[in-house]
Each structure stands twice: as C-alpha cells, then as structure tokens.
Amino acid sequence: MALTSTTTGRTASVSLGAAAPALADVVAIARDNASINIDETALAAVAGTRKLIEALADDVEPHYGISTGFGALATTFISTDRRTQLQQSLVRSHAAGSGPEVEREVVRALMTLRLSTLLTGRTGVRPQVATTYAAVLNAGITPVVHEYGSLGCSGDLAPLAHCALVIMGEGQARTSDGRLVSGGEALAGAGIEPVLLAEKEGLALINGTDGMLGHLILALADLDRLMPAADIAGAMSVEALLGTDAVFAADLQALRPQLGQAAAAANYRALLHDSPLIASHKGPECTRVQDAYSLRCAPQVHGAARDTVEHARLIAGRELASAIDNPVVTPDGRVESNGNFHGAPVAYVLDFLAIAVADVASISERRTDRMLDQNRSQGLPPFLADEVGVDSGLMIAQYTAAGITSELKRLAAPASVDSIPSSAMQEDHVSMGWAAARKLRKAIDGLTQVLAIEIMTAARGIDLRAPLQPGPATGQVLHAVREKVAGPGADRFLAPDIAAVTAAVRSGSLLAAARRAAGPLA
C-alpha cells in the first residue's frame, strides 16, 4: 500500500493504496498527525479475502486462528457460537503490558503499520476493522501501550493487543488533547463505533512486527538528521582545535571506496570550505604532522555509521512491503501457518544501529574532551574557562557527555542474542526485537545530547580563537547556537544551555543553518 503524502495549507493527507508504504509517510502520520485516506480498491481486496475466511469458518475441519485456539492451544476446536468470545478473549488476555506508557508517536507508528498490513488483503479481516483503525488514528486517539510485554515473536503481541482493545471499546486511551479515558469513552467522543471482532480478526490485529518496525522507522528519521549533525560537530571541532582539512580530500577518501565514508568526508569538505581558521595554519610554520584519530578518522567512523543506517533502511523497506500475520491468506486463496512474524530481521538491525550510535557518541565525546584539555587543545584555556581557577568553564559538560556515552555503550549490548521460551515451549525462540527497539530509542536521545555538547563546546572554542573566524557553513551554525546560548564568559547555569542546543540538534535547525552555506549535506 502506497502512502503518498499531499499537503494543502497546513493539513497533510496520506493515501493508502496498493503498494508498500513509504518510510516518510509513516513518520508523517506518527509525528505530524497526517490524516489517512483509504483507497477503495484496497478495501475491495480486503472484502474479497474476507469471503474466504467466512467460508472456512463454516467448515467442519478445524482451521488455525479461525476455528481453533492459539499458540499451545492450536489443536482445540472452538464451536461457532464461541468464536467472537475467542477473538475478544485473545485480545483481552494478550493486553498484558506493564510499566510506563510508550510514546504517542510510537503507538501511532505501530497502528499505522498494522493498518498497512490489514489493507494488503492477506489477513482476512473485514473492511470495517481497517476503516476503524484509520478513524482512530485520524481522531488523534492513542491507545495506552506499556513499556514491557513484547518478546518480538508472534509479533509485538502485547503492544498490538492494547491497541486492538481500544478498537473494541475497551482498555485505556489518550484523547487528542492528552486526557486519559477508557477506550469506549475515547471512541464515543469521536463518534466511532467499537468493533465486535469476528473469526480471525483478533489474531490479525496482534500478530505483526509493527512495534519494533515503527521504532526503526522513527529511528531512521532521527538518524538522517543526526548523521550530518555529527559531521557539523566534528568540523567545528577541527576548526576549534586548529586541525587540518587535508585528510578529507576526495582522492584520499577514494582509496577506500566505502560509501558512507565518502559522504561524511564530502560533508567535512563542504563545512570547512573557505574557513579562515583552517587557512591560518596551513603555512610551513605549522609543525603538526597529523591530527588525533578523533579528528582525522571521523569520516571513517561517521561513514561506517551511515552504512549501518542504509542497511537498516533496506531491511525496513522490505518489512514495509511485508504482510505479517499467522495464519496468512495467500494470493491463491490458501490459509497457511507461517513464521513471518519472527522479529529477527528487524531486531538485528535495531541492535546494529545501537552499536553505531554508541560509537559516533564515543568519538564525539573524545573531541569534546580534547578541546577542554590545555595540553591538547592547541592554546585554548583550560576547560575553556573565562577566569582560570575561579571558573570551571565547560568541565562538567564533558562529564555529562562521558556519562551518556558510557550508558550508550551499555545499550549497545544486543538484545536479539537473548531468547526466553514462552507459551509452554511452543514459542521456544523469540527475537527480543521490542527490547532492541526501546534501547535504541534511548540511545538516539543520548547521541543527540552528546553531539549538542560537542557543538556547544566547539562554538566556545571557535569564539576564543577570535579574531580568526570559522568558515561560512560552520559560521552559520555558530550564529544559530548564539541565538540560543550566550558566548564565552563567567560561569553560569549550564543545564539550560545544553538543553537549548540539544533541542536545536533534535529539530534539525542547526543542520538547516549549515546547509544555507554548505548546500546539501548527506
């Protein structure tokens, strides 16, 4: 199903059709409240498949998920008059999450992805189930989903069950203005009729990788901003530390034809172009042979992270094109059990991204520390303090970056290598993809803060090099930072400064400032 965004004025609309959804449109629904329009041909396909399920429901032979129990109870036949209760009991019992509420955008992403699968016509639900999902999203209703409950196999069962419970008019939800109400009250307030689930439908609503995939799609959107932001931070540090841009030359980078490395090095060249600070020490009087690894090897590290992001994007695209359910209705009309709900493909890349995020933060923190050490900072005052001895400068900002980086290294330990059997050993190997997704989300937040601290530190270092000036692109970033936080001076309350620069990194406003002078940055 194609999700094609259109914008009229300030209202975005997304059309769900017959092709695989685009990552950007899932983000638009999840984060920007884009409204959903369902293509009528997709609903017609859903209705056609439903007829097959209804025919099997009347069969005296048992069919998994239609006339049987689930999991370890798959051999138990359920009579016709008990099947609505079967489906509703399935959702109620599986809505067993615990812990804090999951973020609104994550819930909207996973609901969008479940709707995407429903509209493939491979799950066997009635059209009204799909239209109700769209109506709930359009009304801004957000089911309460909890932090813990998914093992990432048989899909993200608990998170999806909490969403399905609200479609039934049960459970808890947040209204568009954030009020916590019952699922029934939320639907009634929006004029939406609850769904009375029929054969197969409860199973179809909870059996997918939508939770971990939703996290992955949102993470990719964040990393598309953070990867060039890492280059911006690194380039500003090169200027502040009187480093060289010679190592970023295209011919040197071409000797190792890694795509991500080439993109990062190209960013460095664009960001440092025409920098008076760089030019100030290019003459024969400069005795430095080469910069430290955290400066010189940044394209190699940032580039490897980019390549990891692109691999994850490939996996996300394939998953978006999937119809995850069990059993599934095949295009030729068979209803077959399968293992496509296993989260391993998504779980692996979520863990892989956490490794890359930790390493980008690690090299960033090392550059920050270098700028604060008078023995390595090429003449900058200790800790970039105003009155050395009286002021501590940015000393403790580096502590903050170090503490976050240490946490990111712990979060880089893979979740997907663990497995705890469940469902009386029927589900004896699980992916832990939801756990991988949750820790990646925390890691991305940490990387944003670490990069912000480096940018804030490099900005002060550049200011202290006056009258020498940064290049046009880094100068634009410096100006944008100074609109948020003051320049060098006596010690002040640092936490608001870190928060302000972090918000600017997260929003992409510093990246936009750099692009005004440097042009497109990969």
Query: Which active-site residues does the annotation give?
Result: 64
Distance CA 89, CA 236 (A): 58
Decide the pairing of beta strands 11-16 and 35-38.
Answer: parallel
How many other CB atoms sit within 10 Å of the CB of residue 463? Answer: 17
Residue 426 CA, chain-centre distance (Å), reads: 31
Q: Cis link prior to 143 (omega < 30° from 0)?
A: no
Q: Cis link prior to 467 (omega < 30° from 0)?
A: yes
Q: Transcribe 69-125 into DSSP letters.
A: --GGGTT-B--GGGHHHHHHHHHHHH---EEEEPPHHHHHHHHHHHHHHHTTT-S--
DSSP state of 285: T
Cβ atoms of residues 458 and 401 within 8 Å = no
Distance CA 128, CA 115 (A): 11
By C-alpha distance, which of 67, 166, 190, 68 is closest to 114? 166
Residues 6+ apart with CB under 8 A from 251: none
Cβ atoms of residues 303 and 263 within 8 Å = yes
* Both structure tokens of 107: 């819930």
